Amino acid sequence: MDTKTSATDKQRMITFAKDVKNLGLAYYFTGKERYSEKAKDQLIAWFVDPDTRMNPNLQYAQAIPGIVDGRGIGIIDSRLLIGVMDSVELIKPELNDDEYNAIVKWYTDFTHWLVTSDNGFEEDNWHNNHGTWFDAQVVAFSIFTNQIDQAKQRLRITQMRRIGNQFDIEGKQHAELERTKPWHYSNFNLEAYNLLGHYGELVGVDVWNYSVDKHSLKNGYKYVSSAIINPESWTYNDKEKKDMKTAYINMLTAKDVYNDSEFDKAVSELKEEHQDLIDNLLF
């Protein structure tokens, strides 16, 4: 089966998440109810209506017919529900209590499945971006569902298990650099840390400045920024076409967090070609 067609659940989720995220932001910035009403319709269909709602698990994600019914690595697909969760909060004034509570209940059930299922256990134990995005989901959904202790515990895992193992003292992410698209995956992993760092601020766990034996998240951002400023320093797979959008957002984040002129320079290098991104409004 072609997994990139609209006939698959994965593509339906991608479309749903993109639409609801954009609708939530449109409502936030314009105050026009037509955006919140459309977002609400989709949220009710996916999370509330018993006839149409998604079951709160990814038990069958990235299944291979005749081989495996579902795989832990499929959990990375539900990272898209983080943006959906944000939009729920943005349009909350347009939801009644029963609707809002039903959505929170769905996320509560999904988070429970993440941290108790065999698939979740598999994903949690990946040493690369899969593990980081698992953390980002557990933390995001735990905060949203008011499970703050669980969010703090998971952020401590991010600090002690992820950062020290994923970044060397130069900031290289070897598990991502060894892949066929090292630029993409290095930035994709940092994208998850953008979220984890902000969530840490909310609950009092400092992910941004955590360091162990000179391994730190900041160095991870700096390794990418140095390649933006001096492209010849990036010596991995010169055939890869570098998409700079995620790198630009990562640099905006690092510039906002760290008082370091290198991130200012990296943002300046990329800003002109990304001046129309809605993300610019968030910094």
What's the pLDDT tens digit per position in 201-238?
A: 999 999 999 999 999 999 999 999 999 999 999 999 98
Q: What is the reported pTM? A: 0.94
DSSP 218: H
Q: Is the pLDDT of residue 242 over 70?
A: yes
- Start-to-end Cα distance in the chain: 41
Q: Are 140 and 88 in contact (CB under 8 A)?
A: no
pLDDT digits (tens, 9 = 90+) for 92-132: 999 999 999 999 999 999 999 999 999 999 999 999 999 99
For the chain, counts of helices (H) and of strands (E): 13, 2
Distance CA 43, CA 100 (A): 10
pLDDT at 5: 57
CA 23 from centre of chain? 18
Residue type, 48: V
Assess contact for 250 and 217: CB atoms under 8 A: no
Question: In the prediction, which pLDDT does 67 show?
Answer: 86
Alpha carbons 144 and 109: distance in angstroms, whole number = 12
* For range 1-16, the mean pLDDT: 74
Which tokens go with 85? Answer: 């969760």
